Structure 1
Amino acid sequence: MQLTQKEIKELEEQLSCPDGKLGVEVGKNMNETNINMTLSTIDSLELKDKNSVLELGHGNCGHLQKLLAEADNIGYFGLEISKTMHEEAKTINTTTQAEFLLYDGETIPFKNNSFNRVMSVNTIYFWSNPQKLITEIERVLKPNGICILTYANKEFMKNLPFVGDKFQLFGKEEIKTLVSASNLKIDALIHKTEQVTSKTGESVERTYTLAKLKKE
């Protein structure tokens, strides 16, 4: 599927913050194409009964039931900068175990030491203030808590036609530099490869990383 430059630019805008009817469709597409990354992230959280989980940039949150099935009495809290995705997630997920909130993308509206687990999949490219947000994650994560940041690797991303100025790309050095702005520690960088259909319709081999961070 050949997209015009205008369409590619609009796609980039929608990927960073889905909006309106097109945003709903982009959200559905993201849930489908990112599902393996999301499920790998959930598996790596090592969820336990009664854990409280925070997700940054949950999209339509079509993966919520899978997450809640990992252990008993999990409390899930989702933060979004996209009003469209916030509303879509609330429509799709009516469980009382989940709470969805809008936020500014920089300040996490919860008290210190609120969560056992924090996760975010394919959002790190769009963080407006990465150094502040990583320290916010540290602040709300409980001692011995785990954070998983999952992202497609820089070398893969840089060749995609829709990746422009709105994206900040990450590889091993970039994630190390970001995490060093906080007191979180990198416990593991888990690398995976999968075959997916890109946002412009081509079949591509995607390499991605799960950065497993711990708060001591």
Structure 2
Amino acid sequence: MISQSPPGKEPLEAGNMAYKRESIKWILTISTRRDTMFQQWLGNQLKHPKGPLSKWVGKYMQKGNDEINLWTIDLLDPGVDEALLEVGIGNGATLNRIASSKKVRKIYGIDLSEDMIKEAVKLNKKFIEDGIMELQQGNVLFLPYKESTFDTVFSVHTIYFWTDIDRGLSEIHRVLKSGGKLFLSITDKSQMEQMERTKDFHLIHIEEIEKRLSNHLFQPIELHQKGMHWCIEATK
């Protein structure tokens, strides 16, 4: 005996299935749009953390950049009598590590974000009070320091946000002592291009950075690589 569905049931079930498919497509579309909007928001925050979630963004950057930050610190290997500057300090965790483990004479740091400076000051209160560290809001295009102030300048994951790379390199060259070194740590452009949040970043090839450093009289220039990360070491 062949069972038969009641009249009208097949169209009803087909209609329900079509409705479910459309609902799933709508949910996926909304989820994708929300994710894209979040990634765009995050990308803007990484450039300049501000607002009620800036503290969270600072911790997000600290955790996400931990590997490249530790590697960069090892490459720096600053001397006892050196003055060191970090451009783009975030919440100040990297400078805190340097101050805690390295006997550097003086540590300076700047960041575009006033919120990040506040967090960095809280984290490094002891070092600031002891006169070991000075932190302030600032821009790499207009470094608030005299010529030939630093033995070492370093920056991790910030060059993508410089509105004028040549101006930034010129300013760093100005504040470095003769023989001083610049360390620029970045992630390979091909890797960065795969991230949704980097769509508005000014991604740049290693070779282009080398060329610009040479134009600003940095010599010699050495490249260090660890996985997808690069550190460009340039001497004034």
2:38 matches 1:7 = yes
2:188 to 133, 147, 153: 153
| Paired position in structure 2 for 1:169 | 203
Counterpart secondary structure, 2:231:
strand
Check the 8 A contact 2:210/2:221 in 1, yes or no. Answer: no
2:154 matches 1:119 = yes
**TM-score scaled by length of structure 2:** 0.80
Q: Which amino acid aligns with 1:192?
A: K
Counterpart secondary structure, 1:58:
coil
| Paired position in structure 1 for 2:166 | 131
Instruction: Report the alpha carbon displacement of residue 186 of structure 1 after superposing the two structures with TM.
Output: 4.4
Counterpart secondary structure, 1:4:
helix
Q: Which amino acid aligns with 1:157?
A: M
Instruction: Report the alpha carbon displacement of residue 144 of structure 1 after superposing the two structures with TM.
Output: 1.1
Unpaired runs of at least 5, structure 2: 1-30
Instruction: Report the alpha carbon displacement of residue 21 of structure 1 after superposing the two structures with TM.
Output: 2.2
Aligned-partner Cα distance in 2 for 1:107–1:39: 27
| Paired position in structure 1 for 2:78 | 47
- Greater Rg, structure 1 or structure 2? 2
- The count of aligned residue pairs is 201
| Paired position in structure 2 for 1:197 | none
Q: Which amino acid aligns with 2:231?
A: L
| Paired position in structure 2 for 1:212 | 233
Q: Which amino acid aligns with 2:155?
A: S
| Paired position in structure 1 for 2:121 | 90
Counterpart secondary structure, 1:21:
coil
Larger relative helix fraction:
2
Instruction: Report the alpha carbon displacement of residue 70 of structure 1 after superposing the two structures with TM.
Output: 4.4
| Paired position in structure 2 for 1:191 | 225
Q: Which amino acid aligns with 2:195?
A: L
Check the 8 A contact 1:135/1:181 in 2, yes or no. Answer: no
Aligned-partner Cα distance in 2 for 1:105–1:21: 25
| Paired position in structure 1 for 2:65 | 34
Check the 8 A contact 1:19/1:84 in 2, yes or no. Answer: yes
Instruction: Report the alpha carbon displacement of residue 65 of structure 1 after superposing the two structures with TM.
Output: 3.1
| Root-mean-square deviation (Å) | 1.6
| Paired position in structure 1 for 2:17 | none
Check the 8 A contact 1:68/1:74 in 2, yes or no. Answer: no
Greater relative contact order, per chain length (Cα 8 Å cut-off, separation 6+):
1
Instruction: Report the alpha carbon displacement of residue 63 of structure 1 after superposing the two structures with TM.
Output: 2.2
Q: Which amino acid aligns with 1:18?
A: P
Instruction: Report the alpha carbon displacement of residue 23 of structure 1 after superposing the two structures with TM.
Output: 1.6
| Paired position in structure 2 for 1:74 | 105
* Pair 1:91–1:172, CA change in 2 (3 A): same
Aligned-partner Cα distance in 1 for 2:215–2:116: 29
2:174 matches 1:143 = no
Aligned-partner Cα distance in 2 for 1:72–1:162: 37
Query: Cα deviations across residues 6-29 of structure 1 (Å, max 9, x unaligned)?
Result: 212111110111112212101101
Check the 8 A contact 2:92/2:120 in 1, yes or no. Answer: yes
Larger relative strand fraction:
1
Aligned-partner Cα distance in 2 for 1:72–1:37: 21
